[in-house]
Structure 1
């Protein structure tokens, strides 16, 4: 078996992947060998131990499931393990919860199939809750008792049940993924449920803004910058989430068919959303684009950030909403008004769910390819007519 000596790094290994004059990589700095499989799509990491003048190879993981950075971060653990017990075998690559959590966090950062919002949620759950609470525990020490005393009990004093459930789901996901890839042994955590620890039902957050209060919203909007006005109006008009609204680009709009296509990469659930645009919104967008051009901005975003090359940040977009709400309601309140008013106006519940981009069942999938575009447009026409009748001028900008 031909061996090539290199300095290990993630980029160097990728470059060497399809060079066929060797099958093994070695770095003199580490007791590690990387052996490529026959098709060179995968490889195996081996820990090399010297004893009585011989080299003993112990397989510890597969590449590219675990990169060199992953191996390097946990190498000292296995050096100690093999020194104390030379005959021990690798049954779990990760020893502690923090090493497992950091691996999952790095993996999620490069996962193109999940949205940036989801990546931020994973990072928040791992860095703010999972690692601080149970990161120092060995994976073998995680059981019902430690989860109750060290994970759920501290969280329940500061977090709502719905927030705790989000953190729990991410903890469960990282254990499940590691088990599937055989990076840890079978673990009882993946079979546990949130209700095993928290018995109280999660109560929906009460409505903080009602449709009857839209006159106050309209009054507060008028005194704000056009960018703030446009952000609020688009969320109120279409029920879109703030995360996807703040990242809208001009080329997501088709003014020939009067539709807005929001790609899955910026939606919360990863599903693309198509939104009909009514004549009132077309006029608003034309007015807003003209305003941007007068201010010498001809970039791609409706709501550019400070650097102009990126959209406004999540933190900044929430502060934009707060300038109108005065901290009395949030962007979600606008979405709730949209959803509830659609039902009051007689819109089919299945259509209403699709309009706010909730996950759809088989029945709804049948709807999509037949009548949904027409039903969506009819629903928005009805809703926007009601908005304009109830609060005249609320779907237009006030530019001074």
Structure 2
């Protein structure tokens, strides 16, 4: 096998030639002196710069693809001229595509990230960042090119908030690569998303308001009789303001009726911090009724919301629950929003509301509040569930002596002193 074949260097063509055992070397007339020699197993090869009879290895394929080595070619030739005795081996991260592949693989192996976050990153890189920027040489990246290839085309078809998230992934990838010495410089240092557009990123309008809740409660009452699992998932989210991910994975072992607490493990939360929610009398009655329904249908498993295999509902299956219930009019996150909004209307303290949502607090605030908050959270939820009772919640949980509305507790509740100056800002999940 000694054949040298002349082709046009593209990654697709190189891989096609790798399957032909009659070919050992590839060249492209457009780039004199640049050759790719396949290894014996054909899955790898070495890029060479040929000077006379001397073959100088400069990079490995497929670590450095065709587009990447061509982008590096001028610099390789200059380095070889300056120091002919040194083989100018090129970095394996010459293009933005290679940088994104490296960073995507790094995030996929990061155990501190939730599977949902990993999937979102994988989707952003695979569906948008790499197709738009993959062939750009890292050393030639500028804000102008990012605007031309990603931001401006993207804003015509994607929301600005999603576009900002993608840009954040790109920035983080460059910063991490620079810290680890994977690239020589960060061409996006100091570049901000606001440099590309001054348009304001607005939050999605709420599709559920408290005036809609009486009708919703009637719908959930009917659904509880027909499909108790679907209705219970919605009710637990509405009653506590929890996220769909942390709710769908709830286990019966996380529910302690004796201590009147729902424990959500850190591994199930977006903030990666455990979350403890007091259980009101209404919710305890609801859980008892729901467990009896499960047992009557022969289910004795560990999950509140099992699928047919006995596992908890998957992300897709849980989303389908709200496709059925919402009928395109509202989503699971709208339950969380309407809960938080109504808490404010009921006069529930803002910090307590944020703690119930398990938003990340500033370090000082979370340390200061922690020892006093459980009783205040319980009082807040009792007030909320008493309000829900008046619009039909009592018909579902079946508690005969449904609690009347409990007034908002003062700072001296149960003899505890006021919480003091809680000026630490709350970090909303929308900014994480």
- For the 8 Å contact 1:91–1:184, the answer to whether it is kept is no
Q: Secondary structure at the match of 1:74?
A: coil
Partner Cα distance (1:204, 1:109) in 2: 29
Shift in CA distance, 191/79, structure 1 to aligned 2, threshold 3 Å: closer
Higher relative contact order (CA 8 A, sep 6+): 1
- For the 8 Å contact 2:95–2:135, the answer to whether it is kept is yes
Q: Secondary structure at the match of 2:291?
A: helix
Deviation (angstroms), 1:317: 1.4
What are the within-5 Å matches in structure 2 for residues 238-249 of structure 1?
Answer: 238-249=240-251
Deviation (angstroms), 1:151: 0.4
TM-superposition CA deviations, 1:315-365 (whole Å, max 9, x none): 221221122222111111111111112122222211111111111013421
Partner of 2:276: 274
Partner Cα distance (2:218, 2:345) in 1: 24
Partner of 1:74: 63
TM-superposition CA deviations, 1:281-322 (whole Å, max 9, x none): 11212222222223333322222234323x222222122112
Shift in CA distance, 91/271, structure 1 to aligned 2, threshold 3 Å: farther
TM-score by length of 2: 0.71
Deviation (angstroms), 1:265: 1.9
- For the 8 Å contact 1:92–1:185, the answer to whether it is kept is no
Partner Cα distance (1:330, 1:394) in 2: 23
- For the 8 Å contact 2:217–2:393, the answer to whether it is kept is no
Q: Does 1:125 pair with 2:124?
A: yes
- For the 8 Å contact 2:64–2:92, the answer to whether it is kept is no
What are the within-5 Å matches in structure 2 for residues 339-350 of structure 1?
Answer: 339-350=340-351
Partner of 2:229: 227
Of 296, 299, 319, 1:297 maps to 299
Deviation (angstroms), 1:377: 0.8
What are the within-5 Å matches in structure 2 for residues 225-374 of structure 1?
Answer: 225-309=227-311, 311-374=312-375
Tell which structure's C-alpha radius of gyration is larger: 2
Partner Cα distance (2:190, 2:309) in 1: 46
Q: Secondary structure at the match of 2:101?
A: helix
Runs of 5+ consecutive residues of structure 1 not aligned to the other structure: 1-26, 33-46, 61-70
- For the 8 Å contact 1:116–1:266, the answer to whether it is kept is no
TM-superposition CA deviations, 1:210-231 (whole Å, max 9, x none): 1111122122223431111011
Partner Cα distance (2:397, 2:169) in 1: 41
Deviation (angstroms), 1:125: 1.1
Q: Secondary structure at the match of 1:304?
A: coil
Shift in CA distance, 269/57, structure 1 to aligned 2, threshold 3 Å: farther
Partner Cα distance (2:167, 2:160) in 1: 10
TM-superposition CA deviations, 1:226-250 (whole Å, max 9, x none): 1110110011001011122112222
What is the number of residues matched between the two proteins? 345
Partner Cα distance (2:392, 2:383) in 1: 14
Shift in CA distance, 342/92, structure 1 to aligned 2, threshold 3 Å: farther
RMSD: 3.3
Q: Secondary structure at the match of 2:277?
A: strand
Q: Secondary structure at the match of 2:262?
A: strand
- For the 8 Å contact 1:115–1:264, the answer to whether it is kept is no
Deviation (angstroms), 1:394: 6.2
Partner Cα distance (1:359, 1:370) in 2: 16
Partner Cα distance (2:391, 2:298) in 1: 35
Partner of 2:388: 387
TM-superposition CA deviations, 1:78-134 (whole Å, max 9, x none): 998799757365674312222221222222222111112211211121112111211
Deviation (angstroms), 1:140: 2.1
Runs of 5+ consecutive residues of structure 2 not aligned to the other structure: 1-38, 399-432
Shift in CA distance, 279/115, structure 1 to aligned 2, threshold 3 Å: same
- For the 8 Å contact 1:209–1:334, the answer to whether it is kept is yes
